[in-house]
């Protein structure tokens, strides 16, 4: 039987690469994001994989619930949930922080994960089967200067993942966390408000991870047999030793 994966933030970066990897593995896909055109382009690229698109913002609980409720029968059995949507906004000391940025990070990285998980879990609970992968960050395990609220939001993801794993264990639902280090995506462009020059400097002088590197890890995790539960993986670039320790040439 074909398995179904539900991926949030699938329009770019790690989410997009994960969609490609799981399509190659034989999954049918529910791809979600805020940018309908990008989702449509990805779906066209992945043909003939069976794909259903949902456009919503994970921060909008009502929109999440409505989107999941709208799934056609052939996509209602969700085997794998990839909670990938989120991001970083701003890089400033706490005393200079922008509350709008704080809200964006907490609402997407933490509440968004909860909103989507709560909408998808009833089906997994009924079948007593499922696999949830939360995309965390090394920032959730190592706080760095000016990372304050972003680090806090990813620390919350780490705590939630552990709590979900405990709570859902009796229901035979596996829950895991993937913690990327430096991955070259649109992450820095968002963090620096579209300042492409500043964003590019983040990845200069070394070979950062690519979204496909993280996608391959996720692909491996969700294709393990039922007796294997990979609970947590941290992935660094080859030149990275800690959150802010990178050996630049």
pTM of the model: 0.95
Which two structure tokens, joined as six digits, stand for 144?
A: 């760095």
Residues serving a catalytic function are: 150
The strands making up 232-235's β-sheet, listed across from edge to edge, are 51-55, 28-33, 4-7, 80-83, 130-135, 173-180, 232-235
**Helix 13-25 and helix 36-45, axial crossing angle in degrees, nearest 10:** 30
Q: How many residues does the chain have?
A: 249
Cα-based angle 79, 112, 180 (whole degrees, multiple of 5): 75
Q: Which has the closest alpha carbon to 28: 60, 73, 83, 67?
A: 73
Q: Rounded to whole angstroms, how far apart are CA atoms 130 and 126?
A: 10
How many CA atoms lie within 13 Å of 27's alpha carbon, on the beta-carbon side?
A: 25
Structure confidence at residue 201 (pLDDT): 82
Cβ pair 120, 150 in contact under 8 A: no
Structure confidence at residue 185 (pLDDT): 81
Structure confidence at residue 198 (pLDDT): 82
Print the domain residue range for 89: 4-246
Q: Rounded to whole angstroms, how far apart are CA atoms 44 and 144?
A: 40
CATH number at residue 10: 3.40.50.720
Structure confidence at residue 200 (pLDDT): 79
Task: Please list the rounded mean pLDDT of every run of 10 residues in the chain (249 residues).
Answer: 95 96 98 96 97 98 98 98 95 97 98 98 98 98 97 98 98 98 80 76 91 98 97 97 94
Count the domains in the chain. 1
């Amino acid at each position: 039987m074909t398995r179904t994966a539900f991926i949030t933030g699938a329009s770019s970066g790690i989410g997009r690469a994960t969609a490609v990897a799981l399509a190659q593995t034989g999954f049918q896909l529910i791809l979600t994001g805020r940018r309908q055109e990008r989702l449509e382009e990805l779906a066209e690229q992945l043909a003939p994989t069976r794909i259903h698109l949902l456009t919503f913002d994970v921060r909008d609980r009502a929109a999440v619930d409505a989107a999941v409720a709208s799934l056609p029968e052939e996509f209602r059995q969700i085997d794998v949930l990839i909670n990938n949507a989120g991001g970083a906004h701003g890089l400033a000391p706490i005393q200079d922080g922008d509350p709008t940025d704080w809200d964006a990070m907490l609402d997407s990285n933490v509440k968004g994960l909860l909103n989507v998980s709560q909408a998808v879990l009833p089906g997994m609970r009924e079948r007593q089967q499922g696999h949830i992968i939360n995309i965390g960050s090394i920032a959730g395990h190592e706080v760095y200067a000016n990372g304050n609220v972003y680090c806090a939001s990813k620390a919350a993801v780490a705590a939630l993942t552990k709590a979900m794993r405990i709570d859902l264990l009796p229901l035979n639902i596996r829950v895991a966390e993937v913690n990327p280090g430096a991955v070259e995506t649109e992450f820095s462009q968002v963090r620096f408000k579209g300042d492409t020059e500043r964003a590019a400097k983040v990845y200069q002088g070394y070979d950062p991870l690519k979204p496909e590197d993280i996608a391959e890890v996720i692909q491996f995790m969700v294709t393990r047999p039922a007796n294997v539960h990979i609970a947590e993986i941290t992935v660094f670039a080859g030149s990275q030793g800690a959150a802010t320790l990178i050996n630049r040439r």
